[in-house]
Amino acid sequence: MMKFKPNQTRTYDGEGFKRRAACLCFHSEAEDEVLLVSSSRHPDQWIVPGGGMEPEEEPCGAAVREVYEEAGVKGKLGRLLGIFEHNQDRKHRTYVYTLIVTEMLEDWEDSVNIGRKRKWFKVDEAIRVLQSHKPVHAEYLRRLTNTCNPTCSPVYNTSSCNAPSSQVTDNSPPLTVLFAPHRAQI
């Protein structure tokens, strides 16, 4: 199913979830520094770059495209960290990958068009920054501790991915994480 909006087409899966993709962009394979971008709606807040999939687009291709548009970076696509479902206000199903940054553009689409900024954070600092306004994005980073880094599993090329030079490391079947904010218990 598709829904058209000015300048974009939203795609939904059979269960009514908006199809999204994102990347945790790392400075190196150590995965200790992650790149966040300023929110288009709230420029003083940081988010993980990602967005909606185009019709017929594979999740890995959408993730690479989104980080190029939003963060102005290119890199080596890594493993699928998980598939995160967010049901609070909007039904989103987001495929989250890792990406090792190999190139950073000085000017990129969202920096020119909407003044988006980017900044490197230590992973624990990024979790703190994201927790208050984007807890599901903080959960992406928490998931890192439950997966191995790209050096612990074989690399294979994905022929179905429309990001031509990307490589994906698969260390286990994709994990679907149903996200529900933590509530204080009495």
DSSP 10-24: EEB-TTSPEEEEEEE
Active site residue 58: no
User: Chain centroid to CA 68: how far?
Assistant: 11
CA-to-CA distance for 98 and 24, rounded, in angstroms? Answer: 5
Alpha-carbon distance of 108 to 17, in angstroms, equals 29
Q: What angle do CA 143, 33, 63 make, to 5 degrees?
A: 60
Catalytic residue among 69, 70, 106, 125: 69
Neighbours of 177 (CB within 10 A): 20
Active site residues: 69
